[in-house]
Chain A
Amino acid sequence: MGRGRGSLPDTVEGEIIVATYALTVNGRQAEVDVDPGTPLLWVLREHLKMTGTKYGCGIGACGACTVLVGGVATRSCLLPTSLVGNRSIATIETMASDPVGRVVQDAWVATDVVQCGYCQSGQIMTAVALLKTVRKPTDAQIEQSMGGNICRCGTYVRIRQAIARAAQQLG
């Protein structure tokens, strides 16, 4: 069986081609044996049992599955594991220990953003990516950057308030 990051599939289990991928998730090494086309979302949830990242639509339309890949907010439902490469992955599970993530989560609590909560890990991951890139985003930047994250409860106003609060906290 191939080893190392992104090794080519060289094992056949029945008719399913499986390859071994060494991933760095939240600073820890993890090795998984999966079909190369398996979306990262399912590796996180099923193989690594990190269920904070949610399945919403499966086509990148809702943003619930957003994680950071190489620091870039990425739809994990659309990213085949074979294309992760050497990029580090950060999920909602590590945000409490991330300097920006911690501030964003605190702002989320202080603003009482959450209703059902299903989309919120994706919302927070996108907000963190935004504030890591732009410390003082304008309303338009917040609006556009969060535009791909859907919330069926309609918590949009509080999400934007929380981001503004976090930006203020981060100075």
Chain B
Amino acid sequence: MTRAQKIVVAVASITAIPTATWPANAQSKRTDGLAAWQRVYSVLTHPRCINCHTATGYPQQGDDRHRHGFNVVRGQTGMGVPAFTCAACHQRVNADSTGVPGAPGWHLAPLSMQWQDTRDQTMSSGAVCKAVTDRSKNHNLDGASLLKHHEEEPLVLWAFQPGRGLDGSPRSVPPLTHAEFVAATRTWVEAGVPCPTR
């Protein structure tokens, strides 16, 4: 083999490895990321989460996601109105003796983070994903910040320990544990927060 032939072989072997495997790896990662997103989506659209991600001027209650009782309204900050705030009933922890859920900073998600339409219909996986990853809508959170939000935000944590209702029965919880939810979020983030088209 001539020197020129050796160089050609060497270059070909250097370039052949990544060009042959990288797209497959990337595709696999994206597939894994999309699958992980579907698991994240299953949590986000559970009533414990989506009840406060409404498109309307009020939150929802219960597993049937009915309109919150007592004429509760969103207000400008998502914490109710001046003399009728969320804190009128919701404390920093669950009040199981009176059946009122609670966590620090109880409030509605901003309208930009609505995961349902104005007819209370849950938005598609692709639409929710698009909203969650749109930094003009999500308080400028990148993937790492979204992961941190899912790991630490008190209201997210509450969804997995939602306490008991007025009748003493435990509230239903999302389909994943918090650890599974965080793991799925991590996989999705590491895949570059891919979103399904629908």
- List 18 A-B pairs, Cβ < 8 Å: A36-B97, A66-B88, A73-B85, A74-B87, A78-B89, A78-B95, A78-B99, A79-B89, A127-B83, A129-B83, A130-B82, A141-B81, A144-B73, A145-B81, A145-B83, A145-B84, A146-B83, A148-B71
| Apart from A73-B85, A80-B98, A147-B71: 10 A-B pairs, beta carbons within 8 A | A35-B97, A37-B95, A59-B99, A66-B88, A83-B93, A134-B82, A145-B81, A145-B82, A148-B72, A148-B88
**Which residue on A lies nearest to B71, using beta carbons?**
A147
Determine whether A119 belongs to the interface, using a CB cutoff of 8 Å to chain B. Answer: no
- B88-A72 in contact (CB<8A): yes
A127 to B96, CA, bound (A): 29
A133 neighbours in B (Cβ, 8 Å):
82-83
Task: Return chain B residues, CB-CB under 8 Å to A101.
Answer: none
Residue of A36, A38, A79, A137 near B82 (CB, 8 A) is A137
Shortest beta-carbon distance from A57 to chain B in Å: 10
> Is the beta-carbon distance between A72 and B70 smaller than 8 angstroms?
no
Q: Is the CB of B84 within 8 A of A147?
A: yes
The tally of residues in B whose CB lies under 8 Å from a CB in A reads 25
Which chain A residue lies CB-closest to B102?
A: A83
Q: 0/1 per residue, B94-112, Cβ < 8 Å to A?
A: 0111111010000000000
CA distance A77 to B88 in the complex (A): 11
Complex formed: what's the CA distance from A146 to B83 in Å? 7
| Chain B residues within 8 Å of A80, by CB | 91, 95, 97-98
Tell whether, in the assembled complex, residue B83 and residue A75 are in contact, meaning their CB atoms are under 8 Å apart. no
A110 at interface by CB-CB < 8 Å: no
B144-160 contacts to A, CB under 8 A, are: none
Give the bracket for the number of chain A residues in contact with chain B: 20 to 34
List residues of chain B with CB under 8 Å of any chain A CB: 69-73, 75, 81-85, 87-89, 91-93, 95-100, 102, 166
A residues lining the B interface (CB < 8 Å): 35-39, 59-61, 66, 72-75, 77-80, 83, 126-127, 129-130, 133-134, 137, 141, 144-148
Which residue on chain A has the smallest CB distance to residue B75? A144
Q: Which residues of A contact B82 (CB under 8 A)?
A: 129-130, 133-134, 137, 141, 145
With A60-B70, A141-B81 given, is the CB distance from A74 to B88 under 8 Å? yes
Residue from B82, B89, B92, B93 having most chain A Cβ neighbours under 10 A:
B82
Residues on B with C-beta less than 8 A from A148 are: 70-72, 84, 88
A residues less than 8 Å from B83 (CB atoms)? 73, 126-127, 129-130, 133, 145-146
- Asked if residues B71 and A37 are in contact (CB atoms below 8 Å), the reply is no
Contact partners of A147 in chain B: CB under 8 A = 70-73, 81, 84
Min distance, Cβ B105 to any Cβ of chain A, angstroms: 14
In Å, the complex CA distance between A129 and B81 comes to 11
What separation, in Å, do the CA atoms of A126 and B97 have in the docked complex? 24
How far is B73's CA from A141's CA once the two chains are assembled, in angstroms? Answer: 11
The residue that B89 contacts in the complex, of A60, A130, A137, A145, with Cβ under 8 A, is A60
Closest Cβ–Cβ distance, residue B89 to chain A (whole Å): 5
Beta-carbon contact of A72 and B89 below 8 Å: no
Interface centre among B69, B75, B97 (most CB of A within 10 A): B97
Question: When chains A and B are docked, how far (Å) is the Cα of A35 from the Cα of B98?
Answer: 13
Chain B nearest CB from A23 CB (Å) reads: 15
